[in-house]
């Protein structure tokens, strides 16, 4: 192995509260030569905001800015081409640093291999460079902890469902789950509410925004109006009612 | 509110590597008056082993030792009575410290509200005492990170399934999942393997033991013989093949 080759580290920075970073993530960021983070063009990286207090003072930052594709539907071939090219180019920029012997930490909100952008670099680079993944506390754990809502116990089946599923599919799956987490809420909220009601799961469902962040909150979904919800809001359906 | 009442803190200590504790967990343990941990009688608490370097030197430890119930099936009424009485008594012991104004941290491997024993205290005490839950990195995150296996992406449906389900039920659910985590492997391993094969998911399935611990390992399930597996082993079925 070429001793001059650098190491790739996928770093989970947790759900939002900087105190929910792991000791391992903090140490990795204090040692990394280069710190890469994904963001939408014109926005700050959330992950950077969580973790920046721990960057090595002379570390080089590598912002990876998503192309603007709001005009294109995400199942469209043009979208897939644009986003694929973006990940290819991002991986090439990271690889350049690794080839020069620099350690590159890639920030990931929550856990890197659980629905994270880091995965797109991982599949392009992990077979070529020494790679470590530092797991993190997921956004969903942050939300159910903030709510104090036991999510699953014993023989419970827990489903993680994207809010993008059809109403019929959501309803059918919710009826078969003991506990559920619905991600990608955003404009899917009215559909998610109808599916929960049809599956008999609306009464216990919770709506969470920015769990563990200073402005985060959790409330019964039944009390939440059907107006605009952010894409990263999640809905929790606790499965366990606490009978021992 | 009575100023003399103590605080209950459910502390997730992560999947095994002490470096995967959060800053928040470390600080909470350094301040707690009493540290409670569950263990089987005659065994050490795994969670205690992960976290003990951070206990306040003069903290009082409160071991909560499960009654020996191996002779009784866990769906048996006698088992449920014995285990319910144990949790009632454990909650009473914790409550005594809280009433005396002491902060009590209850250790939990992984995340406290995700299949953790702490939940049995939470449902008995959180409505009576000020309570905080500190989320942790789950065992499953530890395992897929150690394996470097992206578990779910985009619109993937992820299911967390107990290995105790029937072979028919496991097969049916695995066929409907993009990604899956199967917990409580132990003597269910041969059945889990048959269900994965029937659902066409065996080739990519991974077997993990003690993920992130110094003696932990991950291997293709297809290469793992069907002999004795520990109860806390897990099986991962990654959902995402990395096509951007």
**Chain A partners within 8 Å of B67 (Cβ):** none
Confidence of residue B244 (pLDDT cuts 50, 70, 90): very low
Which residues on neighbouring strands pair with residue B158, listed in sequence order?
Answer: A160, B179
A142, A164, A244 member nearest B135 (Cβ): A142
By residue count, chain B amounts to 244
Q: Which of B51, B3, B48 is CA-nearest to residue B24? A: B51
Q: Is A84 on the interface with B (CB under 8 A)?
A: yes
A117–chain B nearest CA distance, Å:
9
Mean pLDDT of A145-165: 94
pLDDT, tens digit (0-9, with 9 covering 90-100), for B81-100: 889 999 999 999 999 999 99
Confirm if A112 and A17 have CB atoms less than 8 A apart. Answer: no
Q: Is B79 on the interface with A (CB under 8 A)?
A: no
Q: Which pLDDT does position A42 carry in this prediction?
A: 79
Higher-confidence residue: A194 or A43?
A: A194
Mean pLDDT of A13-21: 97
Q: Which of A146, A244, A204, A242 is CA-nearest to residue B131? A: A146
Distance of CA A152 to the CA centre of its chain: 20
Give the lowest-confidence range in A47-56, A67-76, A226-235, B49-58: A67-76
Q: Is A144 on the interface with B (CB under 8 A)?
A: yes
Task: Report the distance separating Cα A166 and Cα A172, nearest Å.
Answer: 10
B128–chain A nearest CA distance, Å:
13
Spatial neighbors of B209 by CB under 8 A, at least 6 apart, are B216, B217, B218, B229, B230, B232, B233
**Chain A partners within 8 Å of B50 (Cβ):** none
B38–chain A nearest CA distance, Å:
15
Q: Which pLDDT does position B73 carry in this prediction?
A: 66
Q: Is A198 on the interface with B (CB under 8 A)?
A: no
pLDDT, tens digit (0-9, with 9 covering 90-100), for A189-206: 999 999 999 999 999 999
Q: Which pLDDT does position B227 carry in this prediction?
A: 78
B144–chain A nearest CA distance, Å:
7
A42: exposed, middle or buried (Cβ count in 10 Å: 0-12, 13-18, 19+)? exposed
B119, B145, B164 member nearest A240 (Cβ): B119
Is the Cβ pair B23, A24 closer than 8 Å? no
What are the φ and ψ backbone dihedral angles of A212, each rounded to 5 degrees? 75, -5
Tokens 């809001």 found at: A233
State pTM to two decimals. Answer: 0.94
**A210 has pLDDT over 90:** no
Confirm if B83 and B69 have CB atoms less than 8 A apart. Answer: yes
- Write the DSSP string, chain A: --TT---EEEEE-BSS-GGGSBHHHHHHHHH-SEEEEEEETTS--HHHHHHGGGS-TTPEEEEEEEP--TTS-TTSHHHHHHHHHHHHHHHHHHHHHHHTT--EEEEESB-TTBS-THHHHHHHHTTTS-EEEE----HHHHHHHHHT---B-TT--EEEEETTS-HHHHHHHHHH-SEEEEE--GGGHHHHHHHHHHTT-TTT-EEEESTTSTT-EEEEGGGS-SS---TT-EEEE-------
pLDDT, tens digit (0-9, with 9 covering 90-100), for B171-201: 999 999 999 999 999 999 999 999 999 999 9
Is the Cβ pair A155, B135 closer than 8 Å? no
**Chain B partners within 8 Å of A153 (Cβ):** 115, 119
Mean pLDDT of A88-110: 98
How many CB atoms within 10 Å of residue B30? 13
Q: Which pLDDT does position A3 carry in this prediction?
A: 58
Q: Is B163 on the interface with A (CB under 8 A)?
A: no
Task: Report the distance separating Cα B44 and Cα A173, nearest Å.
Answer: 40
Residue % of chain B over a pLDDT of 70: 95
Mean pLDDT of A149-160: 94
Interface test with A, best of B155, B161, B214, B238 (most A CBs within 10 A): B155
Which residues on neighbouring strands pair with residue B220, listed in sequence order?
Answer: B206
Confidence of residue B111 (pLDDT cuts 50, 70, 90): very high
**B72 has pLDDT over 70:** no
B83, B135, B152 member nearest A115 (Cβ): B152
Confirm if B169 and B44 have CB atoms less than 8 A apart. Answer: no
Spatial neighbors of B129 by CB under 8 A, at least 6 apart, are B5, B6, B7, B8, B95, B98
Task: Report the distance separating Cα A58 and Cα B61, nearest Å.
Answer: 43
Count A/B contacts: CB-CB distance under 8 Å.
Answer: 184
**B68 has pLDDT over 80:** no
Is the Cβ pair A162, B141 closer than 8 Å? no
Q: Which pLDDT does position A216 carry in this prediction?
A: 86
Q: Is B154 on the interface with A (CB under 8 A)?
A: yes
Confidence of residue A59 (pLDDT cuts 50, 70, 90): very high
Give the lowest-confidence range in A97-106, A223-232, B82-91: A223-232
Task: Report the distance separating Cα A134 and Cα A153, nearest Å.
Answer: 26
A138–chain B nearest CA distance, Å:
7
Give the lowest-confidence range in A4-8, A74-78, B140-144, B230-234: A74-78
Is the Cβ pair B148, A14 closer than 8 Å? no
Output the CA angle A121-A124-A129, nearest 5 degrees.
Answer: 95
Q: Which pLDDT does position A112 carry in this prediction?
A: 98
Mean pLDDT of B68-73: 64
pLDDT, tens digit (0-9, with 9 covering 90-100), for B112-144: 999 999 999 999 999 999 999 999 999 999 999
């Amino acid at each position: 192995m070429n001793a001059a080759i650098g190491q790739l580290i996928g770093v989970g920075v947790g759900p939002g509260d900087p105190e929910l970073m792991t000791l391992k993530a903090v140490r990795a960021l204090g040692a990394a030569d280069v710190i890469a983070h994904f963001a939408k063009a014109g926005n700050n990286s959330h992950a950077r905001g969580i973790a920046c207090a721990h960057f090595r003072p002379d570390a080089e930052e590598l912002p990876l800015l998503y192309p603007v594709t709001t005009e294109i539907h995400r199942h469209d071939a043009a979208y897939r081409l644009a986003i694929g090219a973006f990940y290819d180019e991002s991986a090439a920029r990271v690889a350049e640093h690794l080839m020069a012997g620099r350690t590159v930490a890639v920030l990931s909100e929550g856990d890197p291999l659980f629905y994270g952008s880091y995965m797109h670099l991982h599949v392009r680079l992990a077979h070529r460079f020494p790679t470590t993944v530092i797991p993190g506390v997921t956004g969903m754990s942050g939300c159910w902890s903030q709510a104090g809502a036991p999510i699953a116990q014993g023989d419970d089946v827990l489903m993680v469902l994207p809010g993008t599923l059809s109403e019929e599919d959501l309803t059918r799956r919710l009826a078969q789950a003991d506990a559920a987490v619905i991600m990608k809420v955003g404009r899917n909220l009215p559909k998610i509410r109808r599916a929960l009601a049809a599956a008999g799961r609306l009464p216990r469902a919770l709506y969470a925004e920015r769990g563990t962040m200073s402005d985060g909150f959790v409330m019964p979904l039944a009390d939440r109006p059907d107006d605009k919800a952010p894409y990263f809001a999640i809905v929790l359906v606790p499965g366990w009612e606490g009978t021992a």
